[in-house]
Amino acid sequence: MRKYLSKMIKLRKQEGLNAVIAEIKVHSPRHGDMLRGRSVFDILKAYERCDVAGISYITEEKHFRGSFETFREICRNTDLPVLRKDFVTSVDEVERTAEADGSALLLIARVLGDRTAELVDVCHDHGIEALVEVHSRDDASIAIETGARLIGINNRDISRLELDDGSVEVTETIAPLLKTPALKVSESGISSLEHLARALKHADAVLVGTAFMLADDLEGKVREFVRGGGDA
C-alpha cells in the first residue's frame, strides 16, 4: 500500500520530531560525486534508522546522474514514501512514477507554468501526491491555484541547476504568500540547525540532501536534524 508523504509529515510532527525528507543525491553539478563510494541502498537504510519522514531521489540523468531504475528499486526496498525529483513535463512521466510505486512527484511551477494544475490532477488521478515547487512570487501564484497538498519552496534556483548558494530567506519570503491548506516544504540550502529552525518557523517540513551527503557522520547529522533545532 502506497504511503503518502503528507501523512508521514504530519505523523512525524505528532511524534514531536522534525519532518525531514532526506535526499539520496548521486551527483551534484556543484560538488560532483556525492556517493563517494557508498551504496544508494546503504544510505537509504541509514535514513530509515533516523526516522525521516520520507526519501527523495533525483532521476534526472544529465546533470544529477540519476536513474529511473534506481528510483524503482528504492521504492521496492523501503516502507517510507519516496519522492521522485526530475524536470517532469508529461503525463507519461506521471504514469511511470505511479507504476514504479513512487509516493510523490516533483512538479516545478517555473517549468510547467499554466500546465502545473493539469499535472497535479493527473498525479492525484494516479494515486500519487504532487509536490509543486516554487522559488518566486509568480511561482507561488501558480501553486496556490493547483489544489496540491504539498508545496515545496526551493531556496536555490533550479534554473541555475542549484549552483547558487541558496538562502532560507527565500522560504521566509515566499511561505507567507502561500495562503492554502497545503503543507509547505522548505528545500535546499539548509545546512545547519540555525537554517533548520528558521525554515521550520514557516514550513511543515524540510528537504535536505547536500548537507547530509557531505557530512562526515551521515546518521549523526540526520538525527540532529530530525530530533533537534526546530525551536532555536
pLDDT along the chain (232 residues), means of 10: 88 97 91 90 97 97 92 97 97 97 97 96 97 95 94 83 70 95 94 94 96 95 85 38
* Grid cell at residue 138: 509568480
CA 207-209-211 angle, to 5 degrees, is 110
3.40.50.300, 3.40.50.1010, 1.10.238.10, 3.20.20.70: CATH of 5-225: 3.20.20.70
* pLDDT the model gives residue 156: 85
pLDDT of residue 232: 34
Q: Where are the domains of the chain?
A: 5-225
What is the pLDDT at residue 39?
95
Give every CB contact of residue 70 below 8 A, 6+ residues apart in sequence.
Answer: 26, 40, 57, 59
User: Under a CB-based contact definition with an 8 Å cutoff, are residues 206 and 187 in contact?
Assistant: yes
